[in-house]
Chains A and B, each alone.
Chain A
Amino acid sequence: MSAPTSAMLEIRDLQAQVGNKVILKGLSLTVPAGEVHAIMGPNGSGKSTLAHVLAGREGYTVTGGQALFQGRDLLDMPPEQRARAGVFLAFQYPVEIPGVPNATFLKAAINAARRERGETELDAIEFLKRAKATLRKLKMDDSVLARALNVGFSGGEKKRNEIFQMAMLEPKLAILDETDSGLDIDALRIVSEGVNALRAADRSMLIITHYQRLLDYIVPDKVHVLSGGRIVKTGDKDLAVELERTGYAGLAA
């Protein structure tokens, strides 16, 4: 099939639908290793669909095109294989799961990936050490670990918890789906600092957002505009500023 590529993520002519409704209509996009790309677009343009298709959620049917992650066919892998290979989706609406403590869940997730890579599993002590250090960086309280996953968390706490998981799982490709929605300015700054701290030469990020505000804090290498299920414009960080001024109205697909 495809030759090895230096791209972290390469999406070619991706078409996807939910039920009979076609949402992605030939989307192409390349994110090289180490780069942060933003995807902006109006409501209903397919931003969240793209995130879910990349993470492997049921209910989305890919009808054409490809998504390659480090040259591997991402769409052929079950969601857990994508995660173990290093793809992470920060949910727009993180799910509350009563009865599952954050720590239990996160340790299981980390060890699933470590087993996959043939590494030894983290024991409880090593896990706690890393978790506490990471929580400190994100200005989160240790008590999060014992609490049930996202249960009773405020909107901001849930988003921060997504970034905490991301920091612990150290993905190769992080997809942030409207991570800024519902965040006040302080939370936005903390979350952004957390994300920026994770920028690395071997890690790429795809930041999906409706507003330019987040991109003041997480400065992208490229900005893509998604409209009508396709990328209609690509530019540098200044494109986001321009969009903020002109709106999406002038960008018909």
Chain B
Amino acid sequence: MVAVAHPTALRPAPAFGEAFARVRGTLPGARTTALSRAREEAFARFVRVGVPTSRIEEWKYTNLAPLAASPFRLAEPGRAEIRQSEVAHFRMAGLCEHLLVFVNGRFRPDLSDPDIADDGALPKGITVSPLSTAAEPELGTVASALADSEEYPALALEALNGAFATDGALIEIGAGAKLDRPLHLLFLFDTLPVPPAVGGAQFLRTLIVAEEGSEATIVEGYGTLGPAAPGAWTNAVTEIHVGRGAKLRHYKMQIEDHQAAHTSSTVATLTADAEYNHFVLASGGHLARQEVRVNIAGRNAKTNVRGLTLARGHQHIEHRTDIHHDAEGACSNQFFKTAVTGRAHGVFQGKIEVAPGAQKTDARQNSRNLLLSDRAVADSKPELIINADDVMCSHGSATGDLDPNEVFYLRSRGLDDAEARALLVEAFAADLIDAISEEPVRGHFRNQFARWLDAGLEA
């Protein structure tokens, strides 16, 4: 791999260009001039900026070189026949969700709620369309969002996503509309159709527009069907607009297999009085990086951005946040926890930026790391850029291991060492999971956490 114009980036392998030339005529919106042009521009941007290296601050901890050098190809479609029972593992218990399933970057109506994309399946004023079957005006929205993207080395993978996105959900919550149940977007990677060494990449692009006074809960899930596949790469971008006074709760669960690569971004823009709550649990992937950027563009908006990393073995899992206060009187609260064992590496890079004039900002950030083995590593890097004088900003970070006094206390009551440690790790994460306000979603995350713990902490 040869360095490009940016000394901080790697020139993408020719396979990227070859793949784009091969598939661009078949991508959603290929016949929509605006979108196909936006895709070409996005790809050109990606080629110009290259793949970021650790010399770009945002990518300091996550090494993409192996990904950039690996033979790039789009994932094959998933199996034609996938049993509901295979998907059940990733679903919320009970019939309490609206479900859209995508497999290997393609919408799967056979696994989704019947008629979910049709009028009448959802409460009035709410529409959901898969990108692959979206109509002209919706594709235009995607095109203009894509055309607005900045050319910036750190955003190279988002540009790549814009070029290649094969599917995703376009969601509109109309003014004043309320979604009755959580909408669950399930993005699965099926490794069974091809030999496990092959993998491939899937690109997903989701757009959520919550208009004035609306309210909704949306859950994004990422998981693997079939055995672990080292070449499998999921790249996802979710763009969100929260309108005046609208409330959006957005939960994300990334539980792909331990050999997968996952790079995703959530980019939210808040208008006045909007409320955006984000929680991400990440326990999947050999290399996983989840980024959340919130641009507070309206006064008195509120956002909570929280995350939990659970990593074992050789996993590298990173969360990066960037909360940009561009308007007065807004409140942001970040809280991230990382529990790492084995030789895993957990990273939290959290940024707060307060623009000049964003007075009365209240911005907080906190991270806690729990090291469960001698070889596990956790990095926390706060970054505060404050350009206004009448603000409250704070950050804190703490790293430690389990308290031997606590372990002994529990053992002295009859819990064995593994039970005691598991209970303490559960306690470490409890407040984050308990903060999920909707019971079915909370239960879903709690179950997933319990599954992670059941696999043992000594990995």
Contact = CB atoms under 8 A, between A and B. Distances in A.
Q: Answer yes or no: do A and B interact.
A: yes
Interface of A: 55-58, 78-80, 82-84, 88-89, 91, 94-95, 97-100, 104-106, 108-110, 112-113, 116, 148, 165, 169
Contacts, number: 77
Contact of B416 (A58, A80, A99, A105): A80
Contact of B423 (A56, A91, A100): A100
Contacts of B423: 100, 104-105, 108
A58 B404 contact: yes
B137 interface: no
29 contacts: A78-B411, A79-B408, A80-B411, A80-B414, A80-B415, A80-B416, A80-B417, A80-B420, A83-B411, A83-B414, A84-B414, A95-B405, A97-B406, A97-B410, A97-B424, A98-B427, A99-B426, A99-B427, A99-B428, A100-B424, A100-B427, A105-B413, A105-B423, A106-B413, A108-B423, A109-B414, A110-B414, A112-B413, A112-B416
Nearest to A86: B414
Given A108-B423, A110-B414, 20 more contacts: A56-B411, A57-B408, A78-B417, A79-B408, A80-B411, A80-B416, A82-B412, A83-B411, A83-B414, A89-B412, A95-B408, A97-B424, A99-B429, A100-B423, A105-B413, A105-B415, A109-B410, A109-B415, A112-B413, A112-B414
B67 interface: no
B412 A83 contact: yes
B454 interface: no
Interface string B345-364: 00000000000000000000
Contacts of B419: 108, 112
Given A97-B406, A112-B419, A55 B412 contact: yes
Interface string B410-442: 111111110110011011111100000000000
A104 B405 CA distance: 19
A97 B409 contact: yes
**The 8 nearest A-B residue pairs measured at CB:** A99-B427, A83-B414, A109-B413, A112-B414, A95-B409, A99-B430, A79-B411, A100-B427
**Which of B403, B413, B419, B420 counts the most A-chain CB atoms under 10 A from its CB?**
B413
A171 to B, nearest CB: 10
Contacts of B430: 99
Contacts of A57: 408, 412
B415 A112 contact: yes
B409 A91 contact: yes
Contact residues of A: prevailing secondary structure: helix
Contacts of A99: 426-431
**Which of B403, B405, B427, B430 counts the most A-chain CB atoms under 10 A from its CB?**
B427
**Which of B408, B414, B416, B419 counts the most A-chain CB atoms under 10 A from its CB?**
B414
Given A80-B416, A83-B413, A105-B413, A58 B427 contact: no
A58 B408 CA distance: 8
Contacts of A105: 410, 413, 415, 423
A151 to B, nearest CB: 10
A86 B406 CA distance: 20
B281 to A, nearest CB: 16
A105 B415 CA distance: 9
A57 B413 CA distance: 12
A83 B406 CA distance: 15
Contacts of A88: 413
Interface string B277-312: 000000000000000000000000000000000000
B426 A108 contact: no
Contacts of B426: 99-100
A88 to B, nearest CB: 8
Contacts of A95: 403, 405-406, 408-409
**Which of B409, B417, B420, B431 counts the most A-chain CB atoms under 10 A from its CB?**
B409
Contacts of A94: 409
Contacts of B424: 97, 100
A113 B414 contact: yes
B406 to A, nearest CB: 5
Contacts of B416: 78, 80, 112
Contacts of A79: 408, 411-412
Nearest to B423: A100
A152 to B, nearest CB: 15
Contacts of A104: 423
Contacts of A56: 411-412
A94 B410 CA distance: 11
Interface in B190-228: none
A148 B405 CA distance: 16
Nearest to A59: B404
A113 B427 CA distance: 22
Contacts of B410: 97, 105, 109
A15 B403 CA distance: 27
Contact of A169 (B414, B420, B427, B429): B414
Contacts of B408: 57-58, 79, 95
A11 B455 CA distance: 41
Nearest to B416: A80
A97 B410 CA distance: 10
Contacts of B428: 99
Interface in B334-383: none
Contacts of B412: 55-57, 79-80, 82-83, 89, 91
Interface string B373-406: 0000000000000000000000000000001111
A149 to B, nearest CB: 8
Contacts of B404: 58
Nearest to B404: A58
B65 to A, nearest CB: 39
A38 B411 CA distance: 25
B368 to A, nearest CB: 11
A67 to B, nearest CB: 15
A89 B405 CA distance: 14
Given A99-B427, A100-B423, A108-B419, A169 B413 contact: yes
Nearest to B429: A99
A112 B413 CA distance: 9
A97 B414 contact: no
Contacts of B427: 97-100, 148
Interface string B147-171: 0000000000000000000000000
A206 B424 CA distance: 30
Nearest to A150: B409
